[in-house]
Amino acid sequence: MKPNPTLSRRDLIKLSAAGMLSGVSVPWFESLATADVKRPKGKACILLWMDGGPSQQHTFDPKPGGEFKSVSTTVPGIQIVEQLPQLSQCAEDMAILRSMSTEINAHYDAKYFLHTGFRRVTGLEHPAIGSIASSQFGLPGDDMPSFVTIDAGFDKVNGGRLYRSVPAYLGPQHAPLAVHNPYKGLENLKQSESDLDKRLELLARSEAKFGRDFPRPVVSARQAAYERAVRLMRSKRAKAFNLDEEPAKLREEYGDNKFGQSCLMARRLVESGVSFVEVFHRGWDDHEGAAKRISARAPWMDAGMATLIRDLKTRGMLDDTLIVWMGEFGRSPGNGNGHFCRAWSSVWAGGGINNGIVVGKTSDSGNDVAERPISSADHTATLCMALGMDTHKEFIGPGGRPMPLVAKTAEPVKELLT
């Protein structure tokens, strides 16, 4: 049997540039896998994150007299904007939460709040929902990551600082693997076996000496990162990152754009056993008004998300895969030119929840929640429950402090849960 050597610093740079390492001190892995394994429990989740705050009235909560006309869906009584015709035909597999009310109008703090279920405070960092899912459902010996983020691009720079999911006190093994471009997948993933082995064997001696001379946690973490990267490079399941294996017709249905291809990759990753995939698209901070921007985005968003729902359903995967579409808040009533956390929408699909429904209601003006307000903590707790987590669980945080999985004040949206 060949030794299990480590990679060089040059290889680390290549792998990091490819998105295979999130940083020397923050690897997404710890140990090697030995088998083709799947998630042992829980449902998978694909989070479609529209960074900057999408307008609810220009998507899933149209208002009379608004800039966009509404269209009926396959569920009687539910309407969305006519710019989303494919999604209107998926309504029986969707649940629209129209009464999100989340308190924070500042981009980064709101992103943090919606990703973690907790307000950002000085001196303490909370784990992102994807990292929590990794800690609950990931297999320590898996050769695939439990949590992957995919950059679906942007159509403008606005939207404040991008929140990047962190594992915080859960440990670096639950940090996400980052894919920077779905068209390229994991660059440098494919290596010549013989060439790789030769380089590894040459480098193993110097790296082993370095590890002996400096036996520190950061060095051990780096060594583990190298080893897991090599295992992924050799894993048959790594083909999930290669979209070229998909039929051209299906790729076309998803859309020849980063968002559509990211949705396709998300499906492939879930199919390969990844527990949580976040697809994020930047640029939804529409201060000049939402109508023009969303008119341009709607065709690819509609095709990508609707095809994802249909594809998962056709493969018998939709009941075990929860899709969540959202941003950090909505947009102000009218033309959507301002941040608006008081009354906005998120959309869920699949996941074995009660689909084909609308939860909550906004006022005719869209200024307020008229029925069933849903807080950020409520939303996060519901997501955890829908995925099969024990929301009463506590983690051990800094200084041995017990940290709840969700806020004690959270009230799950029972209308969604079966």
> Phi and psi dihedrals of 29, rounded to 5?
-150, 165
CATH class, domain 31-185+242-416, is alpha beta
Tokens, residue 409: 């004040």
Tell me the per-residue pLDDT of 31-56, one tens digit each, with 9 for 90 and over: 223 334 344 467 999 999 999 999 99
The answer to whether the CB of 377 falls within 8 A of the CB of 129 is no
Q: What amino acid occupies position 365?
A: S
Is the pTM higher than 0.75? yes
Residues 6+ apart with CB under 8 A from 100: 326, 329, 330, 343, 344, 345, 346, 360, 374, 379
**pLDDT digits (tens), the chain, 418 positions:** 344 444 444 454 444 444 444 433 333 333 223 334 344 467 999 999 999 999 999 999 999 999 999 999 999 999 999 999 999 999 999 999 999 999 999 999 999 999 999 999 999 999 999 999 999 998 877 888 899 999 999 987 778 899 999 999 999 889 999 999 999 998 756 555 556 566 656 655 665 666 666 655 555 555 555 565 666 666 788 899 999 999 999 999 999 999 999 999 999 999 999 999 999 999 999 999 999 999 999 999 999 999 999 999 999 999 999 999 999 999 999 999 999 999 999 999 999 999 999 999 999 999 999 999 999 999 999 999 999 999 999 999 999 999 999 999 999 999 999 7
> What is the model's pLDDT at position 149?
97
List, as one string, the DSSP characters of 254-284: H-SSHHHHHHHHHHHHHHTT-SEEEEEEE--
**Which residues sit opposite 150 in a β-bridge?**
179, 279
